[in-house]
């Protein structure tokens, strides 16, 4: 029976409803909560109501498709906005599914679970999973057998870094260098464990793979960053068939992934699974355990 999750993130609100590994329904709406948080420190009342209405419509669509369990998860906007509790209450007041704000650690753990399930590989191998979102970025290290046992998060994602330092179109090399210095400052004490494999999840990683192909190593990310620093978004959209909202924040995503990759020291394999997939797996496991 299908279970699902609504993910309220910094760029988008997304629904994933799945039966086992098979998606039943997928919906998304771009709302840009992270940009509000970066500019204002809080989410305006009109945006609270808009978000609550979108979530309610997604939840209703999931029930109509036969969902047996459903959960609404608020990620970095709930943690970073001064009125994150108001976002929680606005959604809770209109949603017919449970709603909660994820901690950064749980966000990393769910992304790890989703990526590991999709990637295969030996149960004991040490793997790092990198998840760059709109408002924050997480790195989780562990194994399929033991799960994630080391998780770190920074309160800076592609949308927030774009609003802070990369709003130009194109942003240019100087702004890109300043953005990189900002990410490196936040990762000054970043000391991840040794790993043999690095998996990258999220929209920025998938879009960068369209530009450079294959794994995201040092040379590929340097090439992508150079292209994104100097190419207007209209040209990026036409050349690489990018979503316009993704194109506007991709330079920031490339900068964050570049710094993380250099700290980890291993080229990143991009996988099409992450937080929502991990959350759906957890809900399915809980339902089976309760049966």
Task: For 133-145, write each residue's pLDDT tens digit.
Answer: 999 999 999 998 8
- Say yes or no: 159 and 258 in one domain: yes
CATH number for the domain including 96?
3.30.420.40
Task: Dump pLDDT digits (tens) for 242-254.
Answer: 999 899 999 999 9
Overall domain count for the chain: 2
- Say yes or no: 136 and 20 in one domain: no
Helices 33-40 and 158-165, axial angle in degrees (round to 10): 40
Of 102, 118, 141, the last residue of a domain is 102
Cα-flanking dihedrals φ and ψ of residue 74, to 5°? -100, 125
Domain extent, residue 161, equals: 105-270
196: helix, strand or coil: coil
pLDDT of residue 133: 93
| CA dihedral for 247, 270, 99, 186, sign (positive or negative) | negative
- Say yes or no: 145 and 266 in one domain: yes
- Say yes or no: 136 and 253 in one domain: yes
- Say yes or no: 112 and 93 in one domain: no
Of 48, 82, 102, the last residue of a domain is 102
Residue 147 has pLDDT above 80, yes or no: yes
Alpha-carbon span 158 to 134, nearest angstrom: 5
Which among 212, 213, 217 is positioned nearest to 265, based on CA atoms?
Answer: 217
Residue 31 has pLDDT above 80, yes or no: yes
Task: Dump pLDDT digits (tens) for 44-92.
Answer: 999 999 999 999 999 999 999 999 999 999 999 999 999 999 999 999 9
Task: Dump pLDDT digits (tens) for 93-125.
Answer: 999 999 999 999 999 999 999 999 988 766 778
In a domain, 119, yes or no: yes
- Say yes or no: 169 and 80 in one domain: no
In a domain, 231, yes or no: yes
- Say yes or no: 166 and 261 in one domain: yes
Residue 105 to residues 74, 79, 228, Cα–Cα distance (Å)? 13, 12, 30
């Amino acid at each position: 029976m299908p279970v699902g999750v609504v993910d309220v993130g910094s760029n988008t609100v997304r629904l994933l409803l799945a039966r086992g590994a098979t998606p039943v329904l997928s919906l998304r709406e771009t709302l840009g909560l992270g940009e509000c948080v970066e500019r204002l420190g809080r989410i305006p009342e009109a945006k609270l109501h808009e978000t609550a209405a979108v979530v309610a419509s997604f939840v209703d669509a999931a029930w109509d498709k036969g969902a047996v369990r459903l959960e609404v998860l608020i990620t970095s906007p709930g943690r970073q906005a001064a009125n994150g509790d108001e976002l929680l209450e606005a959604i809770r007041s209109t949603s017919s599914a449970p709603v909660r704000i994820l901690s950064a650690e749980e966000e990393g753990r769910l992304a790890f679970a989703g990526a590991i399930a999709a990637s295969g590989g030996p149960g004991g191998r040490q793997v790092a999973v990198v998840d760059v979102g709109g408002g924050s970025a997480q790195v989780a290290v562990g194994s399929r057998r033991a799960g994630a046992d080391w998780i770190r998060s920074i309160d800076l994602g592609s949308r927030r870094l774009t609003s802070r330092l990369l709003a130009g179109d194109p942003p240019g090399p100087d702004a890109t260098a300043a953005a990189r210095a900002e990410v490196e400052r936040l990762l000054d004490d970043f000391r991840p464990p040794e790993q043999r494999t690095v998996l990258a999840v999220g929209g920025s990683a998938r879009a960068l793979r369209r530009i450079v192909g294959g794994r995201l190593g040092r040379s590929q990310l340097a090439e992508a960053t150079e292209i994104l620093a100097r190419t207007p978004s209209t040209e990026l959209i036409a050349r690489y068939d990018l979503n316009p909202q993704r194109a506007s924040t991709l330079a920031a995503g490339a900068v964050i992934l570049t710094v993380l990759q250099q700290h980890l020291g291993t080229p990143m394999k991009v996988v099409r699974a992450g937080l929502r997939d991990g959350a759906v797996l957890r809900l399915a496991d809980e339902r089976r355990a309760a049966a």
